Amino acid sequence: MELNGTGIALQASDVSGQKVVNVTNVPGDSTVGELVQALLGKMQLPKNDVSGHPLTYHALLEREGRHLHASEWLHDALKPEGDRVVLQPNIDAGFGANLGRRHGG
């Protein structure tokens, strides 16, 4: 997806707010998933966690306080201009949950 076609203008940041990009003319007939993938490269966000496991990112639409689904069309989810999305890595809360469990008896 080319981030400089005709369409939507938005601001995107990582969860820390340290990496912020303004993008314009994003095609409205793109999906949220396509936008997230394009933004990951543009923002140079890590693709793997510290253990080397692949990260999956989600977009949080600040205006509505909800996570956007990867399959949503941008023209349905976003305003033509002024929306802000935050890219958040998916944290698997169940990973390592058994590390503290005692073994044996």
Pairing of strands 81-89, 8-14: parallel
pTM to 2 decimal places: 0.80
Question: Domain 8-89 belongs to what architecture?
Answer: Roll (3.10)
**8-64 confidence digits (pLDDT tens):** 999 999 999 999 999 999 999 999 999 999 999 999 999 998 999 999 999 999 999
The residues spanned by each domain of the chain are: 8-89
What residues contact 37, with CB distance under 8 A and at least 6 apart? 1
Please report the DSSP string for 65-79 in residue order: TEEEPTTSBHHHHS-
